[in-house]
Structure 1
Amino acid sequence: MDAIPAWRKNTPSRDASLLNAGWPKSKVRKIRKGLDELAVRYEVKVSDNVKFPHSPNPFERSIRDHLVLNAEYLGLNSTLKEYLKTNGKKIPDFLPKGTKMDTVASKIT
């Protein structure tokens, strides 16, 4: 996700800058910790079932029925969320864990 390096880059590098902007010392530590640990963990699971099991075409018989998508933020604590929101940074939402995507129609369920 491109936003994470940008958030790190655009956060003042000195704690004094955050303190001068009105962030208490305890929150500055949490902002720094959150930014240091911030990452995205994602997983794509492929269905065991195929979409067209009886097709005469071998390629079509290899197409899986769906994908299961899982993504989450690591290190995104409530103070970091507050800091990013206060500074106009949009934190994109992920689809709920276990969301399925059809491999042919790309329909999300």
Structure 2
Amino acid sequence: MALSTIISHDPDTFIAAFAGSIIFVVSAIDFAVWARVLLFAASMMIGLICSEFSAQVLSQLSSKLLGLGLDVPPVVGAVVSAAAAVRLLMYLTTRPKKTGSIFDHNFRKGEK
């Protein structure tokens, strides 16, 4: 699956996802080296898979919020999604001291 994902994209998108993954790894200094390698691979795959979707979301946001009719290329979407996706997932699963994670707060069993 990973190989088919890499092969199906343009070289530009691949390089952009690689760059976004590098941005993530450089900013993730609080993890061990082996964890950063695994997170790099996950970030790279997410960047490749979500490149077109992220580009469409960025295009819509630029037109709705800024009033600009930008056509964001998938290369930019690959950089943004690779750099942000794993960090966003890690943020959602962290446990603050008092309240717990966002998932714990919204999906507790037995509480409504």
Q: TM-score range by the shorter chain?
A: under 0.3
Larger radius of gyration: 1
- Scaled by the length of structure 1, the TM-score of the pair is 0.25
Structure number having the greater helix percentage: 2
Structure number with the bigger relative contact order (C-alpha 8 A, sep ≥ 6) is 2
- Scaled by the length of structure 2, the TM-score of the pair is 0.25
